[in-house]
Amino acid sequence: MSQRELQIRPADTPSEELAKILDRDGCVVLKDFASKAQVESIKSDLQPFIEATMRSNDDFGGFKTTRTGALMARSPRCRELAIDPRLLGLVETFLAPYANTFQLHVTQVIRVLPGEKVQLPHRDRWVWSQFQLPPDAKPEFNPVLDRLMTDIEPQLNTMLALTDFTKENGATRVAPGSTKLPHDEEPPEEAYLSAEMTAGSMLVFTGSVFHGAGANESEGARMGLNIDYTLGWLRQEDNQYLSCPPEIAKDLDPKLQALLGYTAAGPSLGYFTPPLPAGRDLSAPERALRRPTKPVRLDADGRIGFVED
């Protein structure tokens, strides 16, 4: 495949136009999606968590890269971003052929530190192909799942630049037009472009486009806010029920609660049964946000009961 230009559009470009670009190229940059004040507020919310985050411990993740998650629990500004009408409109437009409901898939800040090498190019949809990736080995796919993933687009990803993204500091490398390649064919090196953009701009890309973090050859960290959306009937990569449990989620915007998974996808996907009290079997997920605060425990015989005061 030959190199294609990385398209750049204003942040208020209609969803239908952006969806056409994504269908063709798998990626697009939205210029100045967030203001400088919004970027600084997000960084202020998350800086203590970012500084405390350990570096990745594998070659794929990057030994000089940190990934800070649980953003919906930790940051009011990230919650606002996740339900921004511009993003939700694009998610619904682009992913509409594959599902009726959508959910958050991953929320994290990716910080690429000086000295990090280039990341292995990959497709994010591989997470559902059950592949194993030991160091220096090519992915080994479940062939049935991988074939299924070629027929649908399972996700839409966003990367908001919290610092300027440059080729020197490890801007995301993306290969526009690589979405239709078979899994055993990789784009040539010349197909990759660095998604250079100023802080506040956003790279939007699909689960099928080849991409990866660039090498950071600068003296400063490159930080991006990664919020991904997926189809309501697929398992989330970031387990949102644990990252943002009911005691936190109960106070959030209902639109965000639904994106986290506290609503049914279709007629019955996602129901649950509260262990106590008895009689509330097959409950809607929303009930988890109204559960009694009295804790439960297992007794010595393994039976469940309320913890008595």
Question: Residue 52 domain-assigned?
Answer: yes
Structural domain count of the chain: 1
Which DSSP symbol is given to 283?
Answer: B
Q: At what angle do helices 85-95 and 15-25 cross, to 10 degrees?
A: 50
Residue 35: is its pLDDT beyond 90? Answer: yes
Which pLDDT score, from 0 to 100, does residue 94 have? 98
Which of 96-100, 116-120, 130-134, 204-208 shows the lowest mean pLDDT across its residues? 130-134
Domain containing residue 69: CATH number: 2.60.120.620
CA distance 221 to 51: 12
pLDDT of residue 131: 64
Q: Is residue 127 part of a domain?
A: yes
Find all residues with CB under 8 Å of 60, minimum gap 6, and list them.
Answer: 119, 120, 122, 133, 135
pTM for the full model? Answer: 0.93
Residue 282: predicted pLDDT: 87
Q: What pLDDT score was predicted for residue 130?
A: 67
Which pLDDT does position 293 carry in this prediction? 63
d(CA 261, CA 243): 11
Please check whether residue 125 is in contact with residue 131, taking contact to mean a CB–CB distance below 8 angstroms: no
Whole-angstrom Cα distance, residue 269 to residue 196?
Answer: 40
How many other CB atoms are found less than 10 A from the CB of residue 9? 15
38 burial via Cβ count (<10 Å: 0-12, 13-18, 19+): middle
Domain range holding 39? 8-238
Average pLDDT of the segment spanning 19-45: 97
Instruction: List the single range of 72-76, 145-149, 305-309 with lowest mean pLDDT.
Output: 305-309
Domain contains 261: no
| Mean pLDDT in residue range 85-89 | 98
Q: Select the more confidently predicted residue: 291 or 207.
A: 207
Under the banding of pLDDT at 50, 70 and 90, the label for residue 133 is low
Residue 253 lies in a domain: no
H/E stretch holding 240 reads: helix 240-243
Q: Is residue 44 part of a domain?
A: yes
Q: What is the per-residue pLDDT for 193?
A: 97
Residue 64: what pLDDT? Answer: 97
Residue 182: predicted pLDDT: 84
> Is 42 part of any domain?
yes
The β-bridge partners of 222 are 112
- In terms of C-beta distances under 8 Å and separation of at least 24 residues, what long-range contacts does 146-150 make, across chains too? 146/183, 149/125, 149/208, 150/182, 150/183
For residue 56, how many other CB atoms are within 10 A of its CB?
A: 16
Q: Is 188 helix (H, G, I), strand (E, B) or coil?
A: coil
Alpha-carbon gap, residue 154 to 237, rounded angstroms: 12
Average model confidence (pLDDT) across the chain? 92
Whole-number Å distance between alpha carbons of 198 and 40? 13
Lowest-confidence region among 67-76, 154-163, 292-301 = 292-301
Residues 6+ apart with CB under 8 A from 73: 243, 244, 245, 248
- Which of 17-31, 51-65, 79-93 is predicted least confidently? 51-65
